Structure formats: structure tokens, C-alpha cells
Structure 1
């Protein structure tokens, strides 16, 4: 019975993360079509990704506070229903200003989904088991990369870009019903008094902050790459929408492999050893990417194959960084996961916004950005004390 409850909890958490990440990735193959439909430039339309990330970042501390005060279940259901509503409105959007505003609201709801899903896991697991459980959420995240981009490309080609948002609206409504039916009653995350000062206490704690930044910078690499990728691959390499959508499967396979490595070996090797291996893989992938792009600027595989190696390393590193941060948090409850989420989204939003404003369309510039960020991730990992 306990095993069944654990499996149900992980399944509900994973599906919630899956939906939140679909909101970020599913529409990407349709960006050129959205720009055309809304009578705007592709660069302006690409701001919808960092706008979503800013929306995810801003209320995360509020979601954590609400989860601690009212319980995870009602807060999770509320965020799912808001997510569903904003997707339905996005499907009917006709102006870029409205589109960007709704993407911000969509991100607000996705932040609640993300914080509550991770808080559920952190609440019910301890030690290396947290990293093992979080690896399932990572698998859900990465499947959304492949399924999202590929399904988005198919839906856009067949029914037009609004269909992607209608699918998300329906999915979020169904998920809210499942949470209401199957998740145990609203439960306080801890007996810790609800207080804003808890966030400052956690933020000042270096053993929490270092792994959080490692996870956030790795996440930022993925966001930065995907912000520039539609333009780079469809313009520089002249790929079709379907070809770009299919690239998501390669990224998904890399991320699933990394997540399965964590799931299989974290109890054997330990978190510190796996984290060191993962960050080294990320640096190696970015070095190969830079050298490959310099050697041949017209061969797309020299950009995306090394990127998949970076994704593999991030898939190993990310659940470990979350687990380490949660374990070293001086305050219990949803606070640590909320602050992790805020820092991750702020880093990712900054990277995505920078890539959009700089209009990064040169593969070498994109590869160099990946190299700089992976080196920083590795430096933080080296300076991090063993857990």
C-alpha cells in the first residue's frame, strides 16, 4: 500500500512538472508562425520564452508561503486551473502585447505547479532517496522536451499554432481533477511558522546556495540554447519546422539517459561523485561544440550533438543539486524548493532575455555562451564542499 501511495505521489508530481515544462517548450516550433500571425518580428515573439520564465520566477516565494500556510493540495489545484485558463486565452490571442502578457500569467501559474510538485517530493523523501525521486521529475521534464517540440510541430502543421495552447488547457484541467481525486488531503508541509524571513535565512546559507546556482546555471544553458535555436536552425541551417521539432527527441534521449543514471547509481556512487562527473561532461560537450562550429559552420550536427552531451550532464546534475540544496536548507517545508525555483528561473530568464536582446543567430556565439556557462558550473561544483 505504501509503495502504491509513493508511486502515485511521484506520478502526480511528474505529470505536473511535465505540463509546466510543456507550457515552456511546446509552442517553440511555431514561433515563426506566431510572429507572422500576430504581425510582429520573430525577435519580439521570441521574448515570449523569457517572459514565461520571469512569470515563473516572480511568485515562487509566494507559492512556497501559501503551500506552507494552506497545504500543497489546494495550492496545486489552484495553479493548475489558472494555467488552464491562460492557455485557453492564449489560443485566442491576436496581438503580440496580449500574447506576451498572457505568457507572463501562464508562467505565474506554472511556477505554482513546479514548486508544489517538488515540495511533495521533498516532503516525503530523505537523503539520496530525494535525488532518486527527483530524477523521475527530471525524466518528466525531459520527455516534455521531445514530446513538446515534436507534438507542437505536428499540431502547428495540422491545426495551426492555437492548437498547442488548447491541448495544454485541456491537460491542465484533467490534471487538476486527478490531484483533487487522488492526492491525499491538504497537509501542512511542516510545523515551521509561516514567515518571510525564512527565505533570507536560507539564501544566506552557502551550502544551500552553491548547489542551487549549479542547477540554475545548467538550466539557464538549456533555456538560452532553446531561445536561440528556432532562429539558428530554421534560418542559419535552413531546417523545416518538422526537422527542428524532431531535434527535441535527441535532447529527450540525452536527458532521459542522464536521469536514469541518477536513478540507478546515486545510491551506489553518492551525490558528490555523480555531480563532479556530470559537470565535467557539460564542460567537455561545450568545448567540442565550440571547436566543431569553428571547424565547420554549415554542419548542424556539430552544434546539436555536443549540446545533447551538455543536456546529459545537466540531467545528472540537476536532481542532485536540488536534493543537496534541500538537504542543507536551514528551514524545512516548501521554502527551500520555492527559493530554488526562484533562483533557477531568474538565472534562466536572464540568460533567455540576454539571448533574445542580443539576437543570437550565429552558431559560434551560441556555442561560446554554452562554454562560458558550463565552465562556471564546473567551478561552482569544485568549490562546493562534499555532501
Structure 2
């Protein structure tokens, strides 16, 4: 594949993932302000994050089938336009019920963006090379963590919360234009006929399912932390919205370092060794977090520093799990990435809703949830040191 085409595919995929994640992260520092503006409780407003995740999860199998039927380009454009329109409507929303409904629709669009972005690279790369390219998507994800929360806090302070959604609307519309003009020569359809039965075939394949669950549970740690995080840091530790926004940069740096570690070392050290190291780091960091908040409950650093180590481990583990899931899939085309996305979003949405409904305000409870999820990730790790990837 020509280098210029590979760069174009990677850039478009990264931007699609970037905006899908921005929709999740950018408004978080403004949650207390949104709750006040819409005359809603902060707990109810916090449901907008898991609602977004449910919106991402519900249509993922449909996006995969549509991508196989009509091609990645038109489906990606449609999802970008849906995301853009719903973001614009969120900016002018005045009721919490409407806000939550529009967050669901925004999640629907983000779902298509995420599935098509990963399907685009999965079509053209395999094995360790796919892991390397997926690490670039992880870098886009991590940049959205830092840029999203920090930019969201700046926009909130300068222009109030609707500005965050206007930025998302304009950015997604511009990306749709780039896709329209830039993907004209990309292969758009899979050689595998479109069929719902392919999903059942894939999910019954144990090696695929283990890898998909591993990625989803690790992703759920980030979602669970960010669901409870704004309230815990701004209430328990008395941080401002700007302070919490700055924390996004620390999380971004951790994820960036993990993604760069995969990008640099996966072709040399291989997936088994990196995956074992990453999942081990996640478990140890969770233990350190629990001990820290138990011994010094007033020190916020003992919560967020171990969390950054968890994020570092997840940044290494996640692209490896996606690559393994794609390679283990018994069916080609967008199906495996769509099913991975569904599994990941359903797990994340379940954890997000659970954390929100339990109204987790105690840092120790949040640390315990992180440890439970990290232990499950470690237990599901399908590739052990000394074994090559299948």
C-alpha cells in the first residue's frame, strides 16, 4: 500500500475516533453547570455519560452490517452528520429529558464513527502491523482525554457549556467533508456477503470473545472512573472544574506513553509479552490505589496517580486485544470490529450506569471497582509470556 494512502486511512480513522471520544469526555467538567442550567440534579445529569455509551452500543451491529452492504465511506459520512446534528441540538437544549435523549442520538452517531474507523484499518492491516496502526487510534483516543477535558473546562469558563457541543458539531461536519473527498479510492465493501448470522458465528468463537471481553473490561475502568470522577474530585477533594480539566492532561500523558510503547515495541517484543506486562501493571496500580485512599483519604494524588498507571496499562492492552480479536475472527469484513464495539460499549455502559445509580462518592468504593475490573482483565488475558500470538 502506498505510504500516502496508508497515512490518509490512518488520519481519517484517528479523527473519527477522536471526535467520538470527545463527545464522551469534552463536557465532563461542565456537568455541575449543565445540571444547574437544566434545573436537574447532578446525579441525573451524570447519567448523560452512560446514556451516550448505550447509544454507542445499541446500533453497532447495524453499523457493521451497513458497512458490509453499502461500504465504509457512505456509512462513515452518515454517522458523522448524525453526530454533528445532535451536537448542535444539544447546544440549544433547555430540558434534561431532551438533553438525555439527544445524548443517546449523539452516541448513535459516535457508534458508527467508531465502528467504521476500526473497520477501515482492519481491512488493510493484519497481525502486529494492525496492532501498530490501532495504537495510533489509541493515541487519538488519549489526546481526546486531555484535549477534551481541558478544552471543555476552558470553553465552559469562557463561553458556558453550550460552546463544547458547538465545537463538536462543527468538527464532525468538517471531517465528513474530508471523508467525502478523501476516501474515493478506498475499497468500500467486504468480500463476505452481508448476513446477520456472521455475528453469531463470531461470538461463538471463544478466542475472539476472550479478547473482546478483555478490551471491554479495561475500557470500563476508564468509563467508571470518569462517571464518578467529576463528583468525587469536585466534592470530596474540593477541586474546581478547571482543576479537573487539567487532570485530563495527566491521563492523556499516561495513555500516550502506553500507546507509544505499543507502537514502538510490538514488532520487536511481540504481543504476548506486552499484554502480560500491561495487565500486571493495571492490577498492581489498583492495589496501590486502594491502599492509598485507605491510609490517606484526603490526598487526591493517591487516587489519580495510580489511575494514570491503570490508563498506561490499558493503552498497551487495548490495541493488542482488538488486533487479536480481529485476527481470531472466523468472518472477514466489518463484523468483528462492530461486535467488539458492541461488547465494549455494553460493558462500559453497564459499569457507567451502575456507578451512576450507586452514586459512588467514596474514593475507596471507586478504587474497589477499578480493582475488580482490572483483575478480570488480567484473568481473561489470552496471550501469556512465552507463547506466540495465534
What range is the shorter-chain TM-score in? over 0.9
In structure 1, the residue matched to 2:80 is: 80
| Superposition deviation, residue 235 in structure 1 | 0.2
Gaps of 5+ in 2: none
In structure 1, the residue matched to 2:187 is: 187
In structure 2, the residue matched to 1:46 is: 46
In structure 2, the residue matched to 1:63 is: 63
| Superposition deviation, residue 191 in structure 1 | 1.2
Q: Secondary structure at the match of 1:8?
A: helix
TM-score, normalization by structure 1? 0.99
| Superposition deviation, residue 184 in structure 1 | 2.7
In structure 1, the residue matched to 2:257 is: 257
- 2:44 and 2:366 mapped to 1: Cα distance? 19
- 1:132 and 1:189 mapped to 2: Cα distance? 23
In structure 1, the residue matched to 2:269 is: 269
| Superposition deviation, residue 382 in structure 1 | 5.8
**Deviation readout 1:155-205 (Å, 9 max, x if unpaired):** 001000000000000000000001111113463432111100000000000
Matched, 1:203 2:203: yes
Q: Secondary structure at the match of 1:190?
A: coil
In structure 1, the residue matched to 2:11 is: 11
In structure 2, the residue matched to 1:349 is: 349
Instruction: Check conservation: 1:48, 1:103, Cα contact below 8 A.
Output: yes
| Superposition deviation, residue 386 in structure 1 | 5.2
Instruction: Check conservation: 1:294, 1:364, Cα contact below 8 A.
Output: yes
- 1:266 and 1:186 mapped to 2: Cα distance? 27
**Which runs of 4 or more aligned residues in structure 1 lie more than 3 Å from their structure 2 counterparts after TM superposition?**
185-189, 382-386
| Superposition deviation, residue 39 in structure 1 | 0.2
Q: Calculate the aligned-residue CA RMSD, in Å.
A: 1.1
In structure 2, the residue matched to 1:368 is: 368
Gaps of 5+ in 1: none
In structure 2, the residue matched to 1:292 is: 292
**Deviation readout 1:218-254 (Å, 9 max, x if unpaired):** 0000000000000000000000110000000000000
**Deviation readout 1:54-76 (Å, 9 max, x if unpaired):** 00000000000000000000000
- 2:59 and 2:118 mapped to 1: Cα distance? 15
Instruction: Check conservation: 2:70, 2:189, Cα contact below 8 A.
Output: no
In structure 1, the residue matched to 2:35 is: 35
Q: Secondary structure at the match of 1:94?
A: coil
In structure 2, the residue matched to 1:225 is: 225
CA gap 1:23/1:266 in 2 versus in 1, 3 angstroms? same
- 2:304 and 2:93 mapped to 1: Cα distance? 32
| Superposition deviation, residue 338 in structure 1 | 0.1
- 1:382 and 1:88 mapped to 2: Cα distance? 42
Report which stretch shifted further, 375-384 or 355-364.
Answer: 375-384
- 1:272 and 1:61 mapped to 2: Cα distance? 29
In structure 1, the residue matched to 2:126 is: 126
Matched, 1:214 2:248: no
Instruction: Check conservation: 1:70, 1:186, Cα contact below 8 A.
Output: no
Matched, 1:110 2:110: yes
| Superposition deviation, residue 127 in structure 1 | 1.1
In structure 2, the residue matched to 1:99 is: 99
TM-score, normalization by structure 2? 0.98
Report which stretch shifted further, 171-180 or 181-190.
Answer: 181-190
In structure 1, the residue matched to 2:335 is: 335
Instruction: Check conservation: 1:69, 1:188, Cα contact below 8 A.
Output: no
Q: How many residues align?
A: 387
| Superposition deviation, residue 8 in structure 1 | 1.0
